[in-house]
């Protein structure tokens, strides 16, 4: 039986191609993708559809009207807020299947108020060279979910 992976959450995503790529990531890993409104595009956007290729029907995606709705839907989940402004490195976390890996919109990232939410377990970063602002959103989610998958034995991906 496959091991469940953490979920990926995009808080107020603005770029349809990144969300399309995350839909594809959800389909190939089995990770649930949560989108927190408002979205910076409509889900029928052609750029989003193109980036997700024909994986839309294979992905599990839920749109939430706000952060509180996401958290209410996942009441016992640990929430890891990914940000360039953190001391904890993503590989230092022992991921569990119910976790939520939350990413903010480009180019601003998660707002301070979201990262300070009492449900946020930890702020987590992906190391980068000094002076670089951020990684691409979908690439960041890929790095994190594959580390979680590695820790959890890659489920039935191999």
Q: Do 10 and 32 meet the contact criterion of CB atoms below 8 Å apart?
A: no
The span from the CA of 146 to the CA of 155, in Å, is 11
pLDDT for 93-117, tens place per residue? 999 999 999 999 988 999 999 999 9
d(CA 134, CA 149): 23
Please report the pLDDT score of residue 133 as a whole number: 79
**Which structural domains are found in the chain, ordered by start?**
7-151 (3.40.1280.10)
Neighbours of 2 (CB within 10 A): 11
Question: What integer pLDDT is reported at residue 100 of this predicted model?
Answer: 98
Name the token pair of 97. 């299947």
State the pTM of this model. 0.91
The confidence score (pLDDT) of residue 150 equals 94
DSSP per position, 42-53: -TT-HHHHHHTT
Listed range (31-40, 133-142, 148-157) with the worst mean pLDDT: 148-157
Query: Cα Rg for the chain, rounded, in angstroms?
Result: 14
pLDDT digits (tens, 9 = 90+) for 6-24: 999 999 999 888 998 999 8
């Amino acid at each position: 039986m496959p091991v469940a992976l953490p979920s990926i959450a995009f808080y107020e995503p603005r770029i349809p191609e990144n969300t399309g790529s995350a839909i594809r990531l959800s389909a190939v890993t089995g990770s649930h993708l949560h989108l927190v409104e408002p979205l910076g595009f409509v889900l029928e956007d052609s750029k989003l559809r193109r980036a997700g290729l024909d994986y839309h029907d294979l992905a599990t995606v839920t749109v939430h009207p706000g952060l509180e709705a996401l958290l209410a839907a996942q009441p016992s989940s640990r929430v890891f807020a990914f940000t360039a402004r953190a001391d904890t490195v993503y590989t230092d976390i022992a991921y569990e299947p119910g976790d939520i890996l939350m990413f903010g919109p480009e180019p601003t990232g998660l707002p301070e108020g979201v990262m300070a939410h009492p449900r946020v377990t930890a702020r987590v970063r992906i190391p980068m060279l000094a002076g670089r602002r951020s990684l691409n959103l979908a690439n960041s989610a890929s790095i994190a979910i594959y580390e979680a998958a590695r820790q959890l034995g890659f489920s039935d991906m191999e």
